[in-house]
Amino acid sequence: RAVAKAATGYDAAMSKVNITRPDGYYDFYDDFLDDGVSVAPKALRAKIRTFLEKWNVTATSFQKVIAVNSNSYGKFMTMQYKNQWSATSNGTYMSAAYFFYVDKKLGKDSITATLKRGQAVATSGITSSMAQPLVEPNSNGVQATAGLPSSSKSSVGLTPRGMPKTARPAQKPPLPDLSSVNIDERVFLNPKEVRAEISAIKRRYKCNNASIGRAVGEMNSQPGAAVSRFLDKGGDFGGGQMEIYRPLAHLCEKLRVYENKPKSAKRIMLEAEAGDGRPYLGHDTSRPTIFFPGAFLAKDNLGRLHYQSGY
């Protein structure tokens, strides 16, 4: 009976849990981009709600993990769009999709796996004097003693917010000096991919649109203005005609070289195809297209759209 009581009282006893990014969180980002995202915004929204409710995770800490602000998150979660697919232009869409992608990849080191371990302790009837705090900072990213009743938290050295005193997240470094980094100045990322990379850069480094603008040579009184306009565009090629596109693509490539990250499979295939020429990134759907009878657009194995004549 005592065990049954502990099990049924789990949700009531469990305090809100704060999560942080686990080590290796961004190690799968190139694979994520290569695999592509096909989940509908409505389905992704439901998946987020289920995760937060099932594990009693705070929405604030979830936003910090996926590196989106409350305004973008709120707009995405309340579906403030005439067409649900318009929500894919919101940064929350890609960031949340990547969260569930990498959580599956990390396996036993994932946030979900750690939350499950916390639930197992809470439902087993272990008292605070018997249990060890379920905190593995810098390993699986869970900051709170998931599942332990609030009365036991003071005995394991937690702050009132449930965060271990020794597990404060490390401060993000500023953007490094990339002036000496040499790259192939051809562009291998379409505008949509550049926007995804810029979002990832903001999660790894302490920077904003203004500092990114200065890093690519925007020295006017509003260095972040052009960056903001580019990031607000949508689609694979939205913003592709803007002057800021190439400098931002070069910034992403310089950081890849600086961080010693390998080239993605898509990049390697684009290089092999292009030789010494300009890589083909796909049919630019942001420009008007004349479709002759029987013509259509089709994707190849790299996800690029090609104009097919139909003959």
Higher per-residue pLDDT: 2 or 168:
168
Instruction: Identify the band that residue 183 occupies on the pLDDT scale cut at 50, 70 and 90.
Output: very high
**Is the confidence at residue 108, as pLDDT, over 50?**
yes
Residue 150: predicted pLDDT: 36
Residue 137: predicted pLDDT: 37
**Is the confidence at residue 243, as pLDDT, over 90?**
yes
The Cα 192–Cα 37 span in angstroms is 12
Pick the range with the lowest mean pLDDT from 90-99, 142-151, 181-190: 142-151
Q: Contact at 8 Å (CB) between 153 and 13?
A: no
- Virtual torsion, Cα 169, 256, 229, 298, nearest 10 deg: -120
**Is the confidence at residue 8, as pLDDT, over 80?**
no
Residue 35: predicted pLDDT: 75
Higher per-residue pLDDT: 82 or 121:
82
Pick the range with the lowest mean pLDDT from 136-150, 205-219, 269-283: 136-150
Query: Could you tell me the pTM of the whole model?
Result: 0.47
Residue 234: predicted pLDDT: 85
- In the chain the first and final C-alpha atoms are separated, in Å, by 75
Q: Contact at 8 Å (CB) between 235 and 192?
A: yes
Convert the chain into a string of H (helix), E (strand) and C (coil): CHHHHHHHCHHHHECCECECCCCCCCCCHHHHHHHCCCCCHHHHHHHHHHHHHHHCECHHHHHHHHCCCHHHHHHHHCCCCCCHHHHHHCHHHHHHHHHHHHHHHHHHHCHHHHHHHHHHHHCCCCCCCCCCCCCCCCCCCECCCCCCEHHHHHHHCECCCCCECCCCCCCCCECCCCCCCCCCCCCCCCHHHHHHHHHHHHHHCECCHHHHHHHCCCCCCCCCHHHHHHHCCCCCCCCCCCCCHHHHHHHHHHHHHHCCCCCCHHHHHHHHHHCCCCCCCCCCCCCCCCCCCCCEEEECCCCCEEEECCC
Tell me the sheet residues that pair with 57.
17
Average pLDDT (232-256) is 93
| Chain centroid offset of residue 21 CA | 10
The rounded percent of the chain whose pLDDT value lies above 70 is 77
The Cα 88–Cα 101 span in angstroms is 16
Mean per-residue pLDDT over the chain, rounded: 77
Average pLDDT (135-150) is 39
pLDDT digits (tens, 9 = 90+) for 198-217: 999 999 998 888 889 999 98
Residue 311: predicted pLDDT: 57
